[in-house]
Structure 1
Amino acid sequence: MKHLSTRFKCTALAALAVMSLASCSSSSKDNGDGFRVAYIARAQSDSFAAWLANEMKAEAGKYQDIKLDIFDGQASDDVENTQIENAVANNYDAIIVQANNNEAQLPYIQRSVDAGIVTITTNPRVDGVNGASSIDANPYDQGAIVAKVALDRIPQNAKVVVLNGPPGNFHSTNRRNAWKTEFFDKRPDVTILDENTANWNKDEAMKLMEDWSLAHPHIDAIVSMNDNMASGALEAIKGRNGFDGIQAYGVDGTPEATMLIEQGTMTATALQNAQELAKLNMKAAHDLLTGAETTVDLKVGNPLITKDNAGEYIDLYKGAGLIK
């Protein structure tokens, strides 16, 4: 398992090697050489964000008139906001933003729209921006489809821990709302031993789980708002007595999580298909830039992944080169 986890980490880091952290030099709008598109990615430490950034690069390569530059937001509102400002100042034809915190990025995204730049928010969408397009999933549905599986699998009078994404993040908030409505409200017998924010980050989740496992010698399940945090929590208790058979739930359907599910280490997740998101984002950017569309508002699906069908998704990831 350690080998698989390390191999996935290397793949994700290699995927993110395409990211440029430097500011771009100023240039004019499309001059016949094609459209310049900036993608502001949330964080290279997030395995799903790494996957999506890699797919964005691959999909952009299919358009001869698009040049895509990818920037790493480093899970920092300040960094992301500065990168959006720089992209506006450097006259990009389109800017695609994967927000770290919706409220924090909203005014900067609005400035992009107000500057006449094609602007798309994705994973998550940012509501309240006038004139922006969006490509996203429905985070409530993502959380709900996994929570409904847990209704029958988490045992009576279970004790669980909960890992949340960044405060104010549209996906984290709505996935957690789904768990409340679809699971915790229906299972009052279940006790939440501890709950905290790990910011989608695997290392932060590991640290929290290390502390929780010392404070609570028995935990029945890990409820996580994404796969990256769930896998970190599982890594923290790997091989430790008293945690055999612990259940773990996430969202994203990352290659690592899918392998963990196939092996029986993780219980369930909902796929957020980075390939589909990237395809729709690049098509939307191209359609908006060429005038084929004026606004785009699309959502991708969220199929459930369990041990019963994990093999299908592993084949998908092998075909994409994400699992060797």
Structure 2
Amino acid sequence: MNKHLGAGALLTTLIASAAPAAEIGVAMSNFDDTFLTVLREAMTDLDAGDDGIELSFEDATLDIGRQLSQVENFIAKGVDAIIIHPVDQTATTQMTKLVSGAGIPLVYVNRPPIEPSLPEKVVFVASNELDSGRLEAEGICDLLGGEGKTLLLMGDLAYEAARVRSQDVRDVFATPECSGIEIIDEQPGTWMRTSGMDITTNWLSAGYDFDAIISNNDEMALGAIQAMKAAGVAVGTGEDDIKVAGIDATQDALAAMAAGDLAVTVFQDAAGQGVGAVEAAKALIAGEEVPVENWIPFELVTPANMDKYVATN
């Protein structure tokens, strides 16, 4: 049976009893990512504690084969648990089989595995993507008064997050309240700031007339803002400004919001996911029961409430 826990409930449950001294292998898809840096640093802060837990990090540099090899090395080393942020969710079936077959507890973080059911001692800690794109699209719909033309900056479509977040936006704009908003073009990017800048520059060069850009993440949103400002296009929350929305509420994004450039973002609790993943691994090592699904909620961030998040992420 699937169970759902928020960040507070998850940590309260899992911190209740201390895990024995152990080594946890952490296989990250990429170190060169703002959101994942926050997630990793939250894990590292726990590692600095005195509970005897040691974390060993590996960077797959977005290479599926490299990540599989790193997971195999963790298994050969005999770590007590493994945490994986998968390069590609289509590879989780193989990694789950390898780790579970070795009898090692496994925690997926941020990107849930694709398997419809998971073996014993395999869980995930993430945020439900059905909420992320919905929240940013509703924020833009409110700013546009339910009417206007938008452009959609999608992430790498090999990832479920990009597909789900993009569909969330389309679904919101299909509702009666927002049906006056038209997506006039949508392009996939690489989640990176440079990608958002390049795609937006192309849109501007093509002469598109639009009222907002909705991005699957903050980094591409920031790139879009840079491209428009370089072209002399007004961005912000004013009546005649182009509205830009992102997801993650990174510190760079919040700084852009404070400067009046970014209109909407959605807080994804990177630190909460990182801490939750380590605590879940510790609990599994200690033989405790952990829910398969551990959801850390998304939250809408606007200039009106951004102060709450400045020191959070």
Using the size of structure 1 for normalisation, the TM-score is 0.80
Q: Does the 8 Å contact 1:94/1:119 carry over to 2?
A: yes
Supply the AA of the counterpart residue of 1:136.
Answer: A
Report the secondary structure of 1:84's partner residue.
Answer: helix
Q: 2:243 aligns with which of 239, 247, 257?
A: 247
Match of 1:306 among 294, 302, 309: 302
| Cα displacement (A) at 1:73 | 2.4
Q: Does 1:283 align with 2:270?
A: no
Q: Aligned match of 1:169 in 156, 159, 167?
A: 159
| Shift, 1:151, TM fit | 1.6
Q: Which amino acid aligns with 1:160?
A: T
Aligned match for 1:229, one of 198, 213, 220:
220
Say whether 1:206 aligns with 2:197: yes
Distance change (3 Å), C-alpha of 1:181 and 1:40: same
* SS of 1:314 mapped into structure 2: coil
Once the two structures are superposed, residues 92-136 of structure 1 have per-residue CA deviations (whole angstroms, 9 ceiling, x without a partner) of 221111123211333123311121111011111113143311111
Q: In the alignment, does 2:41 pair up with 1:45?
A: no
Distance change (3 Å), C-alpha of 1:83 and 1:167: farther
Larger relative contact order (C-alpha < 8 A, sep ≥ 6)? 2
Once the two structures are aligned, what percentage of the paired residues are identical?
A: 24
SS at match of 2:312: helix
| Alignment match, 1:100 | 87
1:151 counterpart letter in structure 2: C
Counterpart position of 1:90: 77
- Gaps of at least 5 residues in structure 1 are 1-32, 318-324
Structure-2 change in CA distance of 1:98 and 1:75 (3 Å):
same
CA positional deviation for 1:305: 0.7
Secondary structure, in 3 states, of the residue corresponding to 2:222? Answer: helix
Specify the code of the residue in structure 2 equivalent to 1:177: Q
TM-score normalised by structure 2 residue count: 0.83
Contact (CA 8 Å) 1:222, 1:247: kept in 2 or not? yes
Aligned residue type for 2:205: L
Name the CA distance, whole Å, in 2 between partners of 1:133 and 1:63: 25
Task: Describe the SS at the equivalent of 2:56.
Answer: strand
Q: Which runs of 5+ in 2 are unaligned?
A: 1-19, 236-240
SS of equivalent to 2:309:
helix
Q: How does 1:122-141 map to 2 (within 5 A)?
A: 122-128=109-115, 129-131=118-120, 132-141=122-131
1:195–1:89 Cα change, 3 Å: farther
Distance 2:50 2:26 in 1: 15
Match of 1:274 among 266, 270, 276: 270
Could you tell me how far apart the structure 2 residues matched to 1:78 and 1:120 are?
Answer: 19
Partner of 2:152, secondary structure, is strand
Following TM superposition, where does structure 1 have runs of at least 4 consecutive aligned residues deviating by more than 6 angstroms?
none
Task: Report how many aligned residue pairs link the two structures.
Answer: 286
Residue aligned with 1:158, SS: strand
| 1:151 correspondence with 2:141 | yes
| One of 162, 178, 182 as aligned partner of 2:172 | 182
RMSD: 2.3
**Per the alignment, do residues 80 and 213 of structure 1 end up closer, same or farther by CA in structure 2, a change over 3 Å counting?**
farther
